[in-house]
Amino acid sequence: MTTQDIEHVYQETSATLKAISQKRNATLFFQKMMWLLMGMYFVGATLVVLSAYFPEELKWLSVIANKLLGSTENPYQQLYYLLPLLILISINSYFFSGAFYRFKTLEMNTISKMIKHLFPQAEFSQTSQINNNITKESKLFAWIKTNTPVYTFGQMRTSINGTYLNIADIGFIEEHIGNKLINTVLRIPLLNIPVVIYQYILKNIVTSKTSDAVYFSFRGMYCWANFNKKLTTRTIVIPNSLTTRLDRFASFNFKDEEKIALEDARFNSHFSVYSPDQIESRYVLSSSVMEKITTLKERFNRNIMLSFINNKVFLAVENPNGIFSFPSGKLDSITIIEELIAEINTAQSMVTELKLNR
């Protein structure tokens, strides 16, 4: 792929990229307004309920509610505030759904056009969904279950020196420790009110992500490929963070694993390794392989995870916007295309640098 190829694709899509940026901004505006109005409605309705149940304990709340939302003399005054909010929410939701559809349709068509021009040898689909078993098979996600829905926003398949590499843009919600805690608090009266306001209202107001990527516990690139070695167990490489390690320990699904102590300090600063078999994991993670994985991590500059199981290798790279979606902000630079190419090329380098075809 030459610089001329990249410049040609940019010239072909630059006007469309500007239109996508404008449509994204319109979508985000209606999204934020919708949740702002819903937040106002939720707070107003909560004031009404609380003032009725706790008239003495929360006198200050009763005074506010009576002034703003109604009183015994005029109990229907609250409708003057809540009913117009409901109407505004409905109108805004209509404009939001239209803006979101136009934005995503144009974005998907443009991404597909770019992939076909930049990687003509690859198969690309935005409609095929990967099977949940493929994500479970990797053992990378501690809390994913058989019934966890996995959403696919695009899938690419290419052959590199006879090895097939699958690259998918996926998103799903794991019931990990953080989500379990949130769900527990949501069942507790009164305590659940600030959680609802933060989790489902404020996050949607302040986010720069569109609604299709706000709540995923993982959104990003997910790759898998076969390699010419047959392993008897698994080797898991995950980010070296307390949250990730705690999630893996608390899931109780990997009790046969132990943390493997390796000698590469640079590698250890980024990753923790788990396996039931120290000997095989050290065979898989030779010094050259650890160096290449660390290089992959530094190229992506985001959290990455790998696993080696049977004769397959799996790679997951966090990307809040998704690999087959455009990032937030202006899209008036050729770097948008260069970054897309860099993401895919870096994933493809996993086959060559880890020598999967040997």
d(CA 76, CA 81): 10
Cα end-to-end span (Å), the chain: 25
CA angle 251, 304, 306 (to 5 degrees): 70
pLDDT tens-digit profile of 199-209?
788 888 888 88
Of the ranges 45-54, 201-210, 248-257, which one carries the lowest mean pLDDT score? 45-54
Top pLDDT among 57 and 26 is at: 26
pLDDT tens-digit profile of 175-190?
777 777 877 877 787 7
Judged against a pLDDT cut of 70, whether residue 236 lies above it is answered with yes
d(CA 119, CA 117): 6
d(CA 82, CA 78): 6
Residue 104's closest CA among 317, 333, 322, 318? Answer: 322
Q: What is the mean pLDDT of residues 88-108?
A: 91
Q: What is the pLDDT of residue 169?
A: 94
Residue 52's closest CA among 66, 68, 38? Answer: 66
Judged against a pLDDT cut of 70, whether residue 76 lies above it is answered with no
Question: Greatest CA separation found in the chain?
Answer: 83
Tokens of 140: 């990378």
d(CA 129, CA 26): 28
Model-level pTM? Answer: 0.82
CA angle 87, 88, 89 (to 5 degrees): 90
Q: What is the mean pLDDT of residues 41-64?
A: 67
Cβ atoms within 10 Å of 197's Cβ, excluding its own: 15
Q: What is the pLDDT of residue 293?
A: 87
Share of the chain above pLDDT 90, in %: 20
Cβ atoms within 10 Å of 47's Cβ, excluding its own: 19
Q: What is the pLDDT of residue 207?
A: 82
Give the DSSP letter string of 257-324. Answer: -EEEP-S-HHHHHHEEEEES-HHHHHHHS-HHHHHHHHHHHHHHTS-EEEEEETTEEEEEEE-TT-TT
pLDDT tens-digit profile of 135-174?
989 999 888 888 888 999 999 999 888 888 999 999 988 8
Contacts 24+ apart (CB under 8 A), 114-119: 114/9, 114/13, 114/337, 114/340, 115/156, 115/324, 117/5, 117/8, 117/9, 117/12, 118/1, 118/5, 118/6, 118/9, 118/337, 118/340, 118/341, 119/156, 119/158, 119/344
d(CA 245, CA 303): 13
d(CA 47, CA 31): 24
